Structure 1
Amino acid sequence: MRADLARWRDVRRLTVGHRRAIAVAATLSLAGSALALAQPILARDAVDTAAAGTVPWPVLGALVLLFTAQAGTMALARYVQARTGETMMLRLRRALIDHLLRVRIRDLDRHRVGDLIARAGGDTAVVRTLIAQSLGSGIAGVAGLAGTVALLAWLDPWLLIAVSVMFAIAVAALLAIVRRLRTASRGAQEAEGALVADLERALGAIRTVRAGRAEACESARAAGVARRVRDANVRMARLAAVSGPANDLAVSGAFLVVLLIGATRVAAGQTSLGQLVAFTLAMTYLAAPIGEIFLAVTAIQQGSGALHRINEVLALPRETDPVPARPHTPAGPVLELRDVWFGYHPDRPVLRGVDLVVPARGHLALVGPSGAGKSTIFALVERFYDPDRGTVLLHGQSVASVPYGRLRATVGLVEQDCPLLHGTLRDNLLYGSGPVGDDELHRMLALTSLTGVVAALPRGLDTDVGEHGRLLSGGQRQRVAIARCLLSRPRLILLDEPTAHLDPDSERALADTIRDVSRVCALIVIAHRFSTVRGADRVVVLDGGRVVADGTHAELLRRDAYYRRLAASAEPLRVSR
């Protein structure tokens, strides 16, 4: 009972802002039902008049008008219902997409991207069916059923009793089926989400799949999930297949009972032929509202599973700006970490009491083995995560009190895998940077050694870079990502291994860019190539989540044995490239 109330509350929340349109659709459906209910009475008069030997032209004309008006009214009602459903689904999808794009990174990391995409696509389509079939049609169905039963009782209460027995049996069977539909629908939606997630997994790493000759493995994996989808949908189809004949059997049985009992009553003079025809015609209208009610209940049962999955996403915590505080005047170092502890799992800290001060200008290199916590520091500075203990300060202000938009306008990030978005090269360069003049754009292309790349492209800056930028080389994608970051003019730039995909000439050009940029803002560079480290104003060495050394490259080589080992192990790798 409590779950049913929760489902109805969810449906009611969907209708906020659209109840007037729903009322219009329901009113039109009711008007169509009323026009339909007037037809049996006119049909009775037409049959009785014709039985007396007179052609009832006025009555026939009125019937034609009623049929036409009913058809037009019901068509308009269905259009209003469909349009309202599409509008409500648009609002739901926009809310879902907007929420997903602002969900905390920590919570996004716990879900499969493909399943979240399926909830914004397939699940909302199921909810659209719920809206279209359960609101206007369901309301009109209840009213139409009440009106039809009242008309049948007025025409012949004895025949109504016989019809009611037949339909009661069918309704009892349908209710038992509907309860099982909810479980089957939830399983089908979850399987659909898993299928999309598996396909996104394989296509997102298609080069790895091909290189590893894993096509058959991935195909078999997806096929197994597809079978789960098929099985869940077959269960739903089986239930629907049983429900249809149950309804049809009730209608057919009721017709047979009415004809047999009605013919007996006409022969006995207890009713007229016109009265029997009117009752039979009215009974045909009984099937429509019952069908609408059944479809509405079925849609609610099927849609409740999809709506539950959507509500799970909407319940995920999102990034929320802090309560506005007093205006802050930038002061002190651009970045400071004070005794910062953090772990992706509570019992396994990645950072252990890190202290770090970054001045307003200059080039700082972070070095250390994989897993030392270098990328984690970047994630905390961008506030993708919050520290478990300690404080991260931006210009002397805790990042927890800085609005996300202002924080990320101040801090630019270039990720190691340099993701580009589907679109043109110009779109990717200007992404998030605001208005940029052509002179500034071309200056940045020159700084990042992209001028020649743009000139070689078939449409220059308006060339499509492909999905994830796959039509560009790895080094080109990296330079585009660096140029995009620089165009937004941040005060602090985080570069995660910027030279990983660069050839020697491009690496030298980037070193010049880093030197020029470090004169006007701060740069923190995660570096494994010691050619990058040598040009840094300061080097911070991390190991095991702690800062173990700090100084210039030359100073650390002279006084720190651990740093000398890192440099010695990295130099052969640099030469091999």
Structure 2
Amino acid sequence: MLCRQQHSNHTLRSGAWDVLRAVRDHKWSIIGAVLLTLLSLGLALAQPLVVKRLLDSVMAGPLQSGVLMLLVTLFACQTGIQVLARYVLARTSESIMLGLRLRLIEHLLRLRIPVYNQHRIGDLISRPGTDVAVLRRGIADGVTHAVTGSIGVLGAVTLMIWLDWRLFLLVLAVLIVAGTIVVTVVRGIRTASLAGQRAIGSMTAGLERALCAIRTVRASRAEERESKTIGQAARSAYTASVRMAKLDSMIGPVGELGVNGAFLVVLLVGSLRVTTGDASISDFVAFLLYMTYLATPIDAVFQAISTIQHSRGALQRVNEVLALPREREPVTARPATATPAHTEGEPVLAFRDVWFGYHARRPVLHGVSLTVPPCCCTALIGRSGAGKSTLFALAERFYEPDRGQVWFRGEDASRLPLADYRARIGLVEQHCPVMHGTLRDNLSYAAPDACDDELHRVIELADLGELIARLPRGLDTDVGEHGTMLSGGERQRVAIARALLTKPDLLLLDEPTAHLDAINEAALTRTIRLVSTECALLIIAHRFSTVRAADRIVVLDAGRVHTAGTHEKLLDTNSYYRNLAAAWSANSDNRNGDGGGRDTTADRTGVEW
């Protein structure tokens, strides 16, 4: 447990370093903004001294126009420099946030697959958005104002002590009281800020979950329930924000009260000192001016403390994401330009005594060994939970085996660069994700540089010609969010065409006929036969027609390879497979008797292994 805690602290520190690196990349712009702010502050601090000299000259003789012009020049220069400093600071802060957002986006897209299973996607999405927006104030405004405000306070205090140290002691006593109150108030701001950011993340995740399944929500009449659940997170965010507002609203007035209180004390005590001759009127006026100028940097420091506390919760959430493990290339990987050596007839993919479990001491695969020959269609069948999808995940290296090895083209897959390895393996998922954009965008997603001839080749292979012909803009037709403008079977064929466009050595098909009717199923079976002449196929099959069309069949049972062979051989030699084939045939007859050739729920339930 101690080791896990130390690891967590180390990763959070690493995440904090990533955030600081985003600031470090813009250090010269920040330094420039700070120097401009300090120059503006120096001009402001010089003004009371010029006023003191102007009063002394008036009391001694005629008004000196040069001193008056100097005062006017100081005012004008201060204003211009302050405007420039604020612009540089605002632009720099936006650049910092852009860099941090880009780092977060790049990191989120490269996380290890198990991480996505352990976190809500909507909450992860909120980190580059709302969390970085809150963090912007802390990094840019808070830190800069804290530095410039502190230097401003130090400069004003130094000059006030030089003018009248006794009056300054009175000012210090009042400000200590105000500062003690402020420190007490800001202690609760960070906790409230973190609670608010987490509530916003939960709200975003809940809304993303409901909108992605909006048809199911409507069909289940669950709008009110989802609204209440998501609204509860919104109310939690509101409660935290109100608490922060209550605490934050006290900081400014307390700071102003301290400065104004000190000003009144100085006004009363200083007037008495001027009356008794212990201080000159010019020194007293200069001291009062410094009191008014002191209000701005003190307020900046107090507000900076509040802003930094606001952003610390967001910083923690950003650090948590940057500390999440991401996919990394193997240390011993060969150069990406190299091509794995292989001999004729050598398996494209091989599992050698592979053990794997998603949780410790709960293995899903138990010493699985199987091969996928080149230019061959291999069907993978078995009961639900037998480990078929897990084998696909290991083949794509979304996970790594706990024991054993996965070999690709005669080489240990764990030594191959991920991008190079995955470029040679096509994957068609069961749910066939189709992304927002045009049909052309989706087809060429894995091969964006593919030419029209290559597109037409896979369109013909996947039998998409009729679909494209009836679309209003052909390949350039928008398919809608998640491909809602396409039917389930059309999305399946789009996914197959997309995978084929990369000309893979191995094509993984997760139940490719799941959304197809009898006619399209027969057409796809012909397509599979044709594709198997170009590359190896490994298919998770639930339909008897798919299994019967395969060159080889591998039967999984409880995470182990039960048997393997051709359809005819298994019928002759394996009673387990014969019983399975008999059940498939019976369900196929029932489906044909129902007349639609449709993949009904009863059919799928009967044949899903």
Q: TM-score range by the shorter chain?
A: over 0.9
1:56, distance to aligned residue in structure 2 (A)? 5.3
* SS of residue paired to 1:316: coil
Contact 2:373 2:536 in 1 (8 A): yes
Match of 1:502 in 2: 516
Question: Is the 8 Å Cα contact of residues 141 and 290 (structure 1) preserved in structure 2?
Answer: yes
What's 2:188 paired with? 180
Q: Does the CA-based 8 Å contact 2:16-2:319 persist in structure 1?
A: no
CA distance in 2, matches of 1:307, 1:330: 50
CA distance in 1, matches of 2:36, 2:128: 31
Secondary structure at the aligned position of 1:354 is classed as strand
Q: Structure 2-normalised TM-score?
A: 0.90
Q: Find out whether 1:408 has 2:422 as its counterpart.
A: yes
Q: Which runs of 5+ in 1 are unaligned?
A: none
What is the identity, as a one-letter code, of the residue corresponding to 1:329? Answer: A
Residue 222 of structure 1: how far off its partner (Å) = 0.8
Segment of structure 1 superposing worse, 150-159 or 96-105:
150-159
1:528-551 CA deviation, whole Å, 9 max, x = no partner?
Answer: 111111211111111211221222
Among residues 456, 474, 490, which one is paired with 1:442 in the alignment? 456
Q: CA–CA distance in 2 between the matches of 1:521 and 1:13?
A: 46
Amino acid corresponding to residue 535 of structure 2 in structure 1: C
For residues 324-347 of structure 1, what are the alpha-carbon distances to aligned partners after superposition, in whole Å with 9 as ceiling and x for unaligned? 338541342101111112111223
Is the CA contact 1:22–1:135 (under 8 Å) kept in the aligned structure 2? no
TM-score (norm 1): 0.95
Shift of 1:52: 7.2
Matched position secondary structure for 2:180: helix
- Which residue number corresponds to residue 604 of structure 2? none
Residue 320 (str. 1) matches residue 328 (str. 2): yes
- Show the counterpart of 1:109: 117
- How far does the alpha carbon of each residue in 1:253-275 deviate from its partner, in whole angstroms, 9 at most, with x for none? 11211221222223333334433
Distance in 1 between the 2:414 and 2:185 partners?
52
Shift in Å, 1:54: 5.0
Contact 1:186 1:305 in 2 (8 A): yes
* Matching of residues 203-282 of structure 1 within 5 Å: 203-282=211-290
Equivalent residue letter for 1:168: I
* C-alpha separation in 1, matches of 2:114 and 2:225: 30
Please say which of residues 413-422 and 319-328 is displaced more in the overlay: 319-328
Q: Which residue of 2 aligns with 1:359?
A: 373
Partner SS state of residue 404, structure 2: strand
The answer as to whether partners of 2:334 and 2:417 remain within 8 angstroms in 1 is no
Counterpart secondary structure, 1:116: helix
**Do the aligned residues in 1 keep the contact of 2:153 with 2:297 (CA within 8 Å)?**
yes
Within the alignment, does 1:167 sit opposite 2:181 as a pair? no
Q: Is 1:133–1:295's contact at 8 Å kept on the other side of the alignment? A: no
Establish whether residue 549 from structure 1 lines up as the match of residue 558 from structure 2: no
Pair 1:329 & 2:341 matched = yes
Does residue 61 of structure 1 match 2:69? yes
Is contact 2:19–2:100 with CA below 8 Å preserved after alignment?
Answer: no
Q: Which residue pairs with 1:294 in the alignment?
A: 302
For residue 216 of structure 1, report the CA deviation from its aligned partner.
1.1
Contact 2:353 2:367 in 1 (8 A): yes
- Aligned with residue 370 of structure 1, among 380, 384, 387: 384
| 1:484 is aligned to 2:498 | yes
The percent identity for this pair of structures is: 53
* Equivalent pairs, count: 575
AA at the equivalent of 1:486? L
**Deviation of residue 554 (structure 1)?**
2.8
1:431, distance to aligned residue in structure 2 (A) = 0.6
1:532 alignment partner in structure 2: 546
- The code of the aligned residue for 2:440 comes to R
Distance in 1 of aligned mates of 2:16 and 2:366: 49
2:141 is equivalent to residue 133 of structure 1 = yes
User: Take 2:254 and 2:366, find their aligned partners in 1: how far apart are those partners?
Assistant: 68
**What secondary structure sits across from 1:336 in the alignment?**
strand
Aligned-pair CA distance for 1:147? 0.7
Give 2:127's aligned residue. Answer: 119
Give 1:339's match in structure 2, choosing from 346, 353, 366: 353
Equivalence map 1:190-205=2 (5 Å)? 190-205=198-213
The one of 70, 89, 98 equivalent to 2:78 is: 70
Q: Is the 8 A contact 1:426 1:461 kept in 2?
A: yes
Partner-residue secondary structure (3-state), 1:379? helix
Alignment of 1:454 with 2:463, yes or no, is: no
Question: 1:360 offset after TM fit, Å?
Answer: 1.0
What secondary structure, in the 3-state scheme, does the structure 1 residue paired with 2:24 have? coil
C-alpha RMSD of the superposition: 2.2
Give the Å deviation of 1:63.
Answer: 2.3
More deviation, 441-450/25-34: 441-450
